[in-house]
Amino acid sequence: MVVLNKELMTIVREVDVIPFRNRLKEHAVKIGMGLVNQTKIITAASELARNMLKYAKGGKVTLEVISTGRENGIRLTFKDQGPGIANIPMAMKDGYSTAKSLGLGLPGTKRLVSEFNIESEVGKGTTVTVIKWKNG
């Protein structure tokens, strides 16, 4: 897998989500991703950015255009230094939310992307990595 393009964005306020979404959209269009998959990755990214703001007072996102040679895609890595998640399987359960919000949540986010990985350590922070393949 090769990284064709990489940029780092800091998200510490709600308004930072807008330029992040715009850059994501630009890259998705550039690799020829269809509108349906564009919408899926942008929706997933918005939820993960909002989680970072809500639970960790913000964090950093790495936006990468990646290629396997036969397939191009976008990889997003959300990294924060918030409180971490004590019970990941529970946090990934449909309907579970400590904030009782009506958002998409982590399980909804996972369904919208091609690959989803979450790592978290209590007291250290959380890293969520998602990939959306152009045709995936």
Of 68, 66, 89, 67, nearest in space to 77 by CA: 66
Rule CB under 5 A: which of 70-99 touch Mg ion? none
Residue type, 12: V
Q: Which neighbouring-strand residues pair with 66? A: 3, 73
Cα-based angle 121, 40, 57 (whole degrees, multiple of 5): 35
Residue number with CB closer to Mg ion (50 or 60)? 50
Cβ 113 to ligand ADP shortest distance, Å? 14
Among the residue ranges 6-14, 43-51, 72-80, 124-132, the one whose residues contact Mg ion (CB under 5 A): 43-51
C-alpha distances out from residue 65 to 6, 27, 74, 104, 123, Å:
7, 7, 5, 25, 31
Residues in contact with ligand ADP by CB under 6 A are 51-52, 55-56, 80, 82-85, 91, 96-99, 101, 103, 105-106, 126
Residue number with CB closer to Mg ion (31 or 88)? 88
Evaluate whether 86 touches 122 at the Cβ level (below 8 Å).
yes
| Among 81, 103, 107, 110, interactor with Mg ion by CB under 5 A | 103
Cβ 119 to ligand ADP shortest distance, Å? 11
Residue number with CB closer to Mg ion (54 or 60)? 54
51 is an interface residue for Mg ion by CB under 5 A: yes
Cα 28 to chain centroid, rounded:
14
| Partner touching 91 among ligand ADP, Mg ion, none, CB below 5 to 8 Å by kind | ligand ADP
Alpha-carbon gap, residue 83 to 91, rounded angstroms: 14
**Residues lying near Mg ion in the complex (CB under 5 A):** 51, 103
